[in-house]
Amino acid sequence: MKRVTLEQLPSIVSSLPARPRVVVSGNFATPRTLLAAFDAAVPEYILHTLNAQPGLPDREGVVYETAFVGPGMRGAERLSYVPSRLSLLPVLYRSATPPDVVLLHASAPRHDTVSLGIEVNVLPAAIEAVRERGGLVIVASNPQMPYTYGDAQIYEHEIDYLIDIEEPLSTAAASTPDAISQQIGARIAEHIEDGSTLQLGIGSVPDAVLAALRERRGMRIWTEMFSDGILTLDQEGCFDPEIPLTSSFLFGSRDLYDFVNLNKRVHMLRTERTNDPAQIARQPKMTSVNAALQVDLYGQANASRIKGRIYSGFGGSTDFIVGALHSRGGSAYMALPSWHPRAGVSTIVPLITGPVTSFQHSAIVTEQGLARVFGNTQREQASQLIEKAAHPDARAELWEAAGEMGLVRDY
């Protein structure tokens, strides 16, 4: 590892091939100072990152590439979407989308390591792939990044260049879930028992679920990401103290980042481990909660496209749905409001208008109720969805459609 300055970066990257592919820390850990310097030094490149947030370089010569579209890339003209489960993205790095350079946002050095802090995810696989092909690993070392353990720790010999920078980390302001999210969260929480393992993301529904679990005990976290919701539960003794809180990336308040800093109870693991359906299935009472845009009467969910146009992607939901269903006592919940207020339409539809993202969930949950899907006949599935999940204004039309689709009775 060689320590350099931002001013030296242009000469360092001058040896890269024409139009290199650069993998950058994604979600809420993008090294903005380092990326801006890279952008100024390289005329054309492919920018590959997950769940990109606003503020990325956006100009001719920069092509966006991702397997999960965030708001910073959504709707971009120069977007190349690569459909993939997150657990399989490391396979793509070794084959279809090999990186030429990896730009990382990490902690200040500690002994002979730095830590990827709040964003581990697919980055260890990207480091391995770029080193195999003789590419570059460049680290922005930021004292504001918390030092986390597990696969987050990167050794000096894995790094080509380290640049000291200081920039504030993105944080999330505390918010109260809206009324519909609270209803959905409460319905899901009713079915979560003591000793369950949780997979919850960021957003109103996950926050509402966690808020309703303060009386539970012996719970565990095995998830793709978590946020501030776990702090209150941890303070109230809801988690099994002997089991690590396992995640792949984080986003939340400075309090959350201070909590995970040098906390050996928190294990930040690479995506291939957190999102491996076989590993997920081994977790007791694995409870997966994910969101959808639409669900149809066959129980199929669309969580990735609106009117055929990519909105997000598979993400980790498919990995966790499969893993949870195979877990002893596990459940996979798909959550969504029953009515789309802007479009003025039902989110429970006869047949989804976009590609299927996932199917065969344990239950579909809206503010109207919880509709059991797994283990029921196709007629029972449709009936549950109409009677317990759909908005009352949509039920007559859905019953009519169910009849036309042959879902009224079984033979």
- The tens digit of pLDDT for each residue in 186-212 reads 999 999 999 999 998 777 888 899 999
User: What backbone torsions phi and psi does residue 136 show, to the nearest 5 degrees?
Assistant: -115, 140
Locate tokens 């969930």: which residue?
A: 361
pLDDT at 410 exceeding the cut of 70:
no
Q: How many Å is the Cα radius of gyration of the chain?
A: 22
The range of the structural domain enclosing residue 158 comes to 2-164
CA 363 to CA 200: how far, in whole Å?
Answer: 16
Residue 171 lies in a domain: no
pLDDT band at 236 (very low <50, low <70, confident <90, very high): very high
Total-model pTM: 0.94
Please count the other Cβ atoms lying within 10 Å of the Cβ belonging to residue 218: 17
> What is the DSSP track for 118-145?
TB-TTHHHHHHHHHHTT-EEEEEE-TTS
Q: Is 17 exposed, middle or buried (0-12, 13-18, 19+ CB in 10 A)?
A: exposed
Residue 174 lies in a domain: no
300: domain CATH number is: 3.40.1080.20
Query: Number of helices (H) and strands (E), helices first, in the chain?
Result: 13, 28
Q: Which of 136, 164, 192 is the last residue of a domain?
A: 164
CA 119 to CA 148: how far, in whole Å?
Answer: 10
Residues 233 and 190 in one domain: yes
Tokens of 229: 């919701």
Beta bridge partners of 138: 103, 161
Residues 193 and 150 in one domain: no
Residues 122 and 201 in one domain: no
Residue 378 lies in a domain: yes
CA 387 to CA 369: how far, in whole Å?
Answer: 9
Query: pLDDT tens across 33-59, in order?
Result: 999 999 999 999 999 999 999 999 999
Beta bridge partners of 3: 162
CA 142 to CA 26: how far, in whole Å?
Answer: 16
87: domain CATH number is: 3.40.1080.10
Question: Is there a contact between 382 and 297 (Cβ–Cβ < 8 Å)?
Answer: yes
Query: pLDDT tens across 83-138, in order?
Result: 998 899 999 999 999 999 999 999 999 999 999 999 999 999 999 999 999 999 99
Over residues 205-228, mean pLDDT: 94
CA 189 to CA 212: how far, in whole Å?
Answer: 6
| Alpha helices in 246-339, H assignment, sequence order | 254-260, 271-274, 277-281, 317-326
Please count the other Cβ atoms lying within 10 Å of the Cβ belonging to residue 403: 12
Residue 169 lies in a domain: no
pLDDT of the residue at 230: 92
Residues 37 and 69 in one domain: yes
Percent of the chain whose pLDDT exceeds 90: 87
Residue 334 CA: distances (Å) to CA of 236, 289, 362? 27, 6, 8
Q: Which of 296, 6, 40, 317 is nearest to 164 (CA)?
A: 6
CA 163 to CA 105: how far, in whole Å?
Answer: 10
Residues 107 and 186 in one domain: no
pLDDT of the residue at 377: 93
pLDDT of the residue at 411: 46
Residues 196 and 86 in one domain: no
Residue 410 lies in a domain: no
Residues 217 and 150 in one domain: no
Beta bridge partners of 246: 222, 267
Tokens of 217: 């005990």
- List all residues 6 or more positions away from 340 whose beta carbon is below 8 Å from its beta carbon: 346, 347
